[in-house]
Amino acid sequence: MDIAVLGAGAMGTLFGAHLAARHNVLMVDVSEQRVRRLQEQGARICSAEGELARPLRAVTSAAERKPVDLVLVFVKAMHTAAALAQNRALIGPQTYLMTLQNGAGHEEILGEFAPAGRVILGTTQHNASFLPDGRVHHGGGGETWIGLLTGETAALEPIAAAFTASGLHTAVMDDVRRCIWQKLLLNTSASALTAILQMPLGYILDNPDARALMQTLVREAVAVANRQVRTPLDAQEEILRIESALHGARQGYTSICMDIRAGRQTEVDTISGYVLAMADRLGVSTPCHRTVVALLHALQSRPAHSC
């Protein structure tokens, strides 16, 4: 397959490096520094299993390229429309657009560049971050789930098989929105609170007030999710699942926490903001999410390290 990865951040590089073992992969990123590093050093992935080094083609713009089979979107949500518009040459009538980005609602933007039957939604359990020397630390693997909102899943089996054969185990789901919501529940509760409190994930478990607020946020989000998914989610089961995940990552700092600390723009509008927008659209009361979104908007407007 000819694959273009938009966004050479840690996750984009991780997926690009694995897929390049069997496919023709092109990395696209507006950062000249990232592109130059990939051109000169390739992708360097380190994990508990060891190190992976793989050459990768990389460019800052694909405006002059031909259409590919798959465009995998890994840019931050606020940059999605610009990235697709600037690299529109990669998208042909038979091109699939796939998002594995954080948050939800990405199909609205991707749908401006491809028909619904060519827009693949997904989520992944993989996590990755850059080390100071430019290597990518693969902090943990797991499953990747993909699907079409049109419900026609058979066409995606070859793509899932290609990802799996490249070391990224992937399954096609009839109700992929449910999988996305399950990841969103963690991000819109515990992750959002770590950003506001500027504390590691374990603090959410250890502090009674933070834990109670996390649980309330999960219950609010489940009430919204169950208006969209085919198989309802159980709020208490989701709380237990999230608390189990927090136990395994007590010292971890979330990306949104680090974005706030560094004075960077966050993806709040496609995470907590998405829950709030859907709640307002569906007439579901989510007062805690409204407060969290307001706080995160206020925090990301501060200068870096201002307190």
Shared domain for 210 and 292, answered yes or no, is yes
Q: What is the pLDDT of residue 307?
A: 52
305 in a structural domain: no
Single out the residue in 117, 145, 174 at which a domain terminates.
174
Shared domain for 206 and 155, answered yes or no, is no
Q: Residues 235-283: pLDDT tens digits?
A: 999 999 999 999 988 888 888 998 999 899 999 999 999 999 999 999 9
306 in a structural domain: no
Name the DSSP class of 302: S
Contact 43, 232 (CB under 8 A): no
DSSP string, 226-274: TTT-SSPPPHHHHHHHHHHHHHTTTT---HHHHHHHHT----GGGTHHH
Shared domain for 97 and 200, answered yes or no, is no
User: How many other CB atoms sit within 10 Å of the CB of residue 293?
Assistant: 22
Strands 119-124, 144-147: pairing is antiparallel
Residue ranges making up the domain that contains 82: 2-174
Shared domain for 37 and 165, answered yes or no, is yes
pLDDT band at 15 (very low <50, low <70, confident <90, very high): very high
307 in a structural domain: no
Q: Which amino acid is at 97?
A: L
Query: Strand, helix or coil at 109?
Result: helix
Shared domain for 216 and 102, answered yes or no, is no
pTM: 0.91
242 in a structural domain: yes
Shared domain for 280 and 186, answered yes or no, is yes
Q: Residues 44-62: pLDDT tens digits?
A: 999 988 999 999 999 999 9
169, containing H or E segment? none
Q: Is the pLDDT assigned to residue 109 strictly greater than 60? A: yes
Shared domain for 160 and 182, answered yes or no, is no
Task: Indicate which CATH number applies to the domain containing 245.
Answer: 1.10.1040.10
> Mean pLDDT over all residues of the chain?
95
Count: domains in the chain: 2
Distance CA(127)–CA(124), nearest Å, equals 8
φ, ψ of residue 128 in degrees (nearest 5)? -150, 155
